[in-house]
Structure 1
Amino acid sequence: MAQDHRARQYASTHQRIYEAAMELFAEHGYEDVSIARLAAAAGVSVQTFYAHYPGKDELLMALPERAEIDALIATVPADRPLGERMRSAILGFVRGLTGNVRSDALARWQLIATTSRLRYRAAEYERATAQLFLESLGVEKDTAAAVVVTAHLSAYTQGLLRWADSGDEPALEGIVQEALDALREL
């Protein structure tokens, strides 16, 4: 029972820090908000902030869990070509972004798109996510597979950046599909 209470308290504090940060970023811009200011706005110490997030960047970007990637990959038959599996998994994930989750993703990607340092960090996360996909697929040592997976994730990232720039007009699904379609033209 005490462990459940601690987990709920941790999750509540985690969310409170995130929400305070998003408000401050919207009001003052990402670069002009210090961690001390974020912590104060959330009503926590700087030490507590770091117990929840390694830094400001991680408020906006996080690597997916391996189980999430495994679940995405499992939605597409294993006998399909790798490019088709990646395309279907990405589009399935995008279709699942609805309601508040989608609004939150748009707000985060708008910050990423307008902050050069975050755009650079997004590329790092893209490469790390590609490695997770390769491991999930069991092809981490296959050069051709690495090219296919990284190309699809790069197209996805480009779609997200264009979506952020557009303010959701056109919709994310169409932009990501267009970015993935560009790979078929190569």
Structure 2
Amino acid sequence: MGKAAATKARLQELAMELFAQQGFDETTVAQIADAAGVSQMTFYRYFPTKDSAVFDDPYDPLISAHILAQDPGLPAIERVRRGLLASWSSVPTPVGDETRKRIQLIAGNTRLAAGVWENNRRTEGLIVDALTGSGVPRLEARVAAGACLGGLTSALLDWAAEPNGQELRERMEEALALMGQSSQTVRGNR
């Protein structure tokens, strides 16, 4: 890991520790920067807002690429589902307790919970662009992206709230499998 990546990871780690100790709203960027031994300007070089330290999401380009790699003959929702599954399978397994704490923090803060949906909106836009660029009608692309991202978000929040020992990757794969069963049922009833 390079120096920049290490600094970013350290800032994010310290931010999450302070959020857990003091609360998200009570923690300032100045406190995070001070804990890391850097200036506030350095914090803002890596995260444009305090919220972005929680929502940093490097996976969107990966998701688009995996969706584009799916068979264009499949229904849009199945392309999205399979693309998301391939994306989850290709990234390192998130650290369970750290990720669970982050999701619990988000779920417990109204502004951050709203931020999840804003983050999903950006991801949805990239998925819609990928699908429409390959000939899928815009409405179908939006519904497919929204359904799959909504399902994953619900599964993620449920996982954070219900620590039953299931790994995050397992929960995401289970949610995507359920969506696959649902899309099979819908197609079978046409």
For Structure 1 versus Structure 2, the TM-score category normalised by the shorter chain is 0.7 to 0.9
Please, which of 83, 101, 107 is the counterpart of residue 107 of structure 1?
A: 101
Structure 1, unpaired ranges of 5+: 1-6
Instruction: Give the structure 1 partner of residue 143 of structure 2.
Output: 147
Q: 1:59: Cα distance to partner? A: 0.7
Partner of 2:54: 60
Q: Structure 2: any 5+ residue segments left out of the alignment?
A: none
More off after superposition, 98-107 vs 68-77 = 98-107
TM-score (norm 2): 0.79
Matched positions, count: 180
Residues 18-44 of structure 1 deviation map (CA, whole Å, 9 limit, x = unaligned): 111121122222222111111111111
- 2:124 is matched with 130
Partner of 2:88: 94
Question: Cα–Cα, structure 1 residues 166 and 94, in superposed 2: closer, same or farther, change >3 Å?
Answer: farther
Residues 183 and 127 of structure 1: CA distance in aligned 2, closer, same or farther (over 3 Å)? farther
For the residues of structure 1 that align with 2:96 and 2:88, how far apart are their CA atoms? 9
1:176 to 2:175 alignment: yes
Distance in 2 (alpha carbons) for counterparts of 1:73 and 1:36: 40
RCO comparison, higher one (Cα < 8 Å, 6+): 2
**Tell me, what secondary structure is at the counterpart of 2:8?**
helix
TM-score normalised by length of structure 1: 0.81
Q: Does 1:157 align with 2:157?
A: no
CA 1:95/1:29 → structure 2, altered by over 3 Å: closer, same or farther?
farther
Are the aligned partners of 1:16 and 1:42 in contact in 2 as well (CA < 8 Å)? yes
Deviations 1:100-121 (A, max 9, x none): 5454433321211121111101
What are the superposed Cα offsets for residues 125-166 of structure 1, whole Å, 9 maximum, x if unpaired? Answer: 111110101112215861122112111111111111111111
What RMSD over aligned residues (CA atoms) do the two structures have, in Å?
2.8
Q: Which amino acid aligns with 2:85?
A: L
Match of 1:43 among 19, 34, 37: 37
